[in-house]
Amino acid sequence: MSGLYKNRATVSVKPAIVSKPATSESTGGPGNIVEGTVFINGTAPIGKTDSDFICATLDWWPPDKCDFGTCSWGKSSFLNLDLTNPILLNAIKAFSPLKIRLGGTLQDKVTYERPGEPCPKFIKSSSEMFSFSQGCLPMSRWDELNNFFKQAGAVVLFGLNALSGRTTAADGSSVGAWNSSDAEYLMRYSVDKGYTIHGWELGNELSGSGNWSKSCSRSICI
């Protein structure tokens, strides 16, 4: 109806066994109300969702992530979530197979621990993008997460750092080539450990608006 009338429309929806064309009336002119009736054929579906349609996200935010004076994240990040909590385990099992995405805003500031290299924690800093310094995913925690999700029967999707190796220009945009070595290391480590990762996401909302568009380039955003 929006393609026919620019005025506000009031539409009543009634289920029907037999499909019928929609009817409408308009008195014309600006400010007039358009009324119509839509008949729906409820006997034949035109599409279906997968049986495992339900999904959830676990984010990176540290406990000191605060908004509007409230630090609500607590220990809900997958870096410090209590994986021994039976309520959490049973909740995921109840939705099995639940798709769980590991990622979010800080994923483009994360490195993945390698032997003999430092693995820093996120540190709050107003001078940094998203107000946190670069952080790291310890492989011991990656092991714990994968063992937990296997036990829970979850389907895992992981968000990779798409800004690795890139630098920030004066206008706030990210320039330079993506360094894929860190992502490759995590993937190879996961394969060697026998972990099943359903999907890999490259970057978090890099094609969006605002700050995200400044982090996007044609080499990453399609």
The tens-digit pLDDT sequence of the chain (222 residues) is: 333 333 334 444 444 444 444 444 555 556 677 788 888 888 888 888 877 778 899 999 999 999 898 999 999 999 999 999 999 999 999 998 899 999 999 999 999 999 999 999 999 998 888 899 999 999 999 999 999 999 999 999 999 999 999 887 787 777 889 999 999 999 999 999 999 999 999 999 876 444 444 555 444 443
Q: What's the rounded Cα separation, in Å, for the pair 152 and 144?
A: 12
Cβ distance 121 to 62 under 8 Å? yes
What are the residues facing 111 on neighbouring strands?
136
- For the full predicted model, state whether its pTM sits above 0.95: no
Question: pLDDT digits over 142-170, tens only?
Answer: 999 999 999 999 999 999 999 999 887 78
State the Cα angle at 149 between 147 and 150, rounded to 5°.
65
